[in-house]
């Protein structure tokens, strides 16, 4: 639980560019209704278990271990802003990439996704440390979804005034769902600070 923003929030766009799937999609992969869908990311692709995939996130809970033969290996948790998954790296890849395994390090991994009755995990084959440039801001669009029947002119005016109070570099997309199921999408003519907790809290109160 983070009292402030998730520590990976500033790198969300970069991590998404480096990953084939969000870690939230892995967590939802066993959901028959979701079929691997992450509610926040909208990722509806089935996560394969028969090939290597690429994921990116932060290492937490690193625990060194020994195999039955006494070789060094480790387990850890790989986390992004949508979820987390347990990771295991066996002795052979550990001998190559063990020095890259550091708590709070942000990495890209090549791995196999494994899901069984005991839960989900990834088996790591390769670990690459990511050098993230914090001096170059990355755009993180803010999408606001509304139901047409509950969105009136007064609410529209309040929404526009609210967004203008939090200027930034992130575009705003307004998605309005109509009664027939059709969606109307519009790019609003200004940008905001989409990572502002105050803005998100007030949006939640105003439009849900």
Q: Which domains does the chain have, with CATH numbers?
A: 9-129 (2.40.50.140), 142-207 (no CATH)
Q: What's the confidence (pLDDT) of residue 29?
A: 66
80 token code pair = 């992004």
Distances (CA, A) of 91 to 75, 98, 124: 11, 9, 11
Q: What's the confidence (pLDDT) of residue 39?
A: 40
The model's pTM is 0.59
**CA distance linking residue 25 with residue 21, whole number of Å:** 6
Cα 24 to the center of its chain, rounded Å: 6
Q: What's the confidence (pLDDT) of residue 40?
A: 41
Which residues in the chain come in under a pLDDT of 50? 1-4, 32-44
Q: Are 111 and 99 in contact (CB under 8 A)?
A: no
Q: What's the confidence (pLDDT) of residue 9?
A: 73
**CA distance linking residue 176 with residue 144, whole number of Å:** 8
3-class secondary-structure state, position 93: helix
Cα 102 to the center of its chain, rounded Å: 20
């Amino acid at each position: 639980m983070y009292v402030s923003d998730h520590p990976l929030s500033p790198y969300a766009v970069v991590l998404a560019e480096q990953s084939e799937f969000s870690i939230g999609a892995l967590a939802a992969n066993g959901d028959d209704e979701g079929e691997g869908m992450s509610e926040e990311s909208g990722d509806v692709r089935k996560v394969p278990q028969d090939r290597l995939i690429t994921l990116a996130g932060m290492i937490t809970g690193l625990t060194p271990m020994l195999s039955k033969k006494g070789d060094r290996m480790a387990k850890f948790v790989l986390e992004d802003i949508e979820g987390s998954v347990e990771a295991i790296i066996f002795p052979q890849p550990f001998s190559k990439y063990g020095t890259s395994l550091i708590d709070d390090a942000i990495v890209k991994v090549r791995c196999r996704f494994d899901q069984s009755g005991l839960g989900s995990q990834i088996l790591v084959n390769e670990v690459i440390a990511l050098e993230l440039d914090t001096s170059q801001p990355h755009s993180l669009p803010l999408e606001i979804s509304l139901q047409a029947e509950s969105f009136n002119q007064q609410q529209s005016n309040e929404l526009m005034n609210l967004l203008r109070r939090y200027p930034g570099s992130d575009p705003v997309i307004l998605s309005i769902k109509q009664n027939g199921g059709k969606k109307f999408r519009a790019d609003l003519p200004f940008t905001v600070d989409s990572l502002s907790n105050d803005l998100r809290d007030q949006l939640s109160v105003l439009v849900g």
